[in-house]
Amino acid sequence: MRALRDRLRLVYGAPGAESHGHPIAELVLTVLSQSTNDRNRDVAYFRLRDRFADWQAVREAPVDEIEEAIRPGGISKVKSARIKSILLAVTDTSGHGLALDWLAQRSVPEAQDYLTSLPGVGRKTAACVLLFALGMRDVPVDTHVSRVGTRLGLFRPRAPFDEMHDEMLALTPRGAELELHMNLLRHGRRTCHARRPECGDCALARMCPSAHTFEGATRRAAGAGGR
Ligand code: SF4
């Protein structure tokens, strides 16, 4: 894993960011990111923040008002209901009102257990909150990280997402959580594409058991496209 991290660092640098300290905001942002791109997610998020004074106001608002605010982010009916039910659930269960800062005082497994007990919150969303907002040791495994990691042999083929999260955390050197997440994601977007990975130009090819195994399929797809 250290060799992989170092190789990715040569290509993409070593991304570093301080945790931002706003776990409720991260939770809502991650819900808004589902099935859309970063731009639409951000438009929806800032419309929501403009429309309501604070998270308590979002929690108390009728769902259709939340839905209207976040419409540019897509599937707004589902997301608005989810956001409201999460904010209500946090208020009911945290023992600290509508706040999640207290998670920083808990162990990572305790914090994961609490977050995944919230409605519609899975391991990826929990990992985003713990890593990006609170600087805790967790690694979000999204669609890019899961695809690249599976091709690199980090994960069992067709492993469920919870298993990939456990495996990723076990493999990641302490302190490299953000860097590995960011750089595997970048590699998935730029080189190790879902349909046509560019193995010929890939800096990881020599350490990747899947290198060049897609080329026949890629040629066949290209041939079919030319007919
Ligand atoms: S060699 Fe190919 S399959 Fe392996 S990481 Fe690079 S692009 Fe992905």
- CATH 1.10.1670.10 boundaries in the chain: 2-14+140-216
* Mean per-residue pLDDT of the chain: 94
Closest CA to 176 of 38, 30, 25, 8: 8
Name the pLDDT band for 183 (thresholds 50, 70, 90): very high
Query: What is the 210 CA–ligand 1 centroid distance (Å)?
Result: 6
Which pLDDT belongs to residue 16? 79
Using a 6 Å cutoff on CB, does residue 60 contact ligand 1? no
> Would you say residue 56 has pLDDT above 60?
yes
Which fold, 2-14+140-216?
Answer: Endonuclease Iii, domain 2 (1.10.1670)
Which pLDDT belongs to residue 215? 74
The CA-to-CA distance between both ends of the chain, in Å, stands at: 43
Name the pLDDT band for 217 (thresholds 50, 70, 90): low
Q: Crossing angle of helices 63-70/76-93, nearest 10°?
A: 120
Cα–Cα distance for residue pair 183/40, rounded to 1 Å: 22
Ligand 1 atom at shortest distance from the alpha carbon of 213 = 3
Name the pLDDT band for 218 (thresholds 50, 70, 90): low
| Homologous superfamily of the 23-133 domain (CATH) | Hypothetical protein; domain 2 (1.10.340.30)
Half-sphere exposure of 168 (CA within 13 A, CB side): 30
Name the pLDDT band for 220 (thresholds 50, 70, 90): low
Q: Which residue has the tokens 């979000």?
A: 140
The better pLDDT of the pair 225, 184 is held by 184
In tens, the pLDDT along 58-115 reads: 999 999 999 999 999 999 999 999 999 999 999 999 999 999 999 999 999 999 999 9
- CATH 1.10.340.30 boundaries in the chain: 23-133
Using a 6 Å cutoff on CB, does residue 152 contact ligand 1? yes
> Would you say residue 222 has pLDDT above 90?
no
Give percent of the chain with pLDDT exceeding 70: 95
Ligand 1 test: best mutation among 8, 199, 207, 213, most atoms within 8 Å of CB?
A: 199
H/E stretch holding 188 reads: helix 177-190
Name the pLDDT band for 212 (thresholds 50, 70, 90): confident
Name the pLDDT band for 214 (thresholds 50, 70, 90): confident
Residue ranges with strand state E in 15-62: none
Using a 6 Å cutoff on CB, does residue 91 contact ligand 1? no
In tens, the pLDDT along 13-32 reads: 998 778 999 999 999 999 99
Using a 6 Å cutoff on CB, does residue 197 contact ligand 1? yes
In tens, the pLDDT along 120-154 reads: 999 999 999 999 999 999 999 999 999 999 999 99
Using a 6 Å cutoff on CB, does residue 154 contact ligand 1? no
Q: Coil, helix or strand for 144?
A: helix
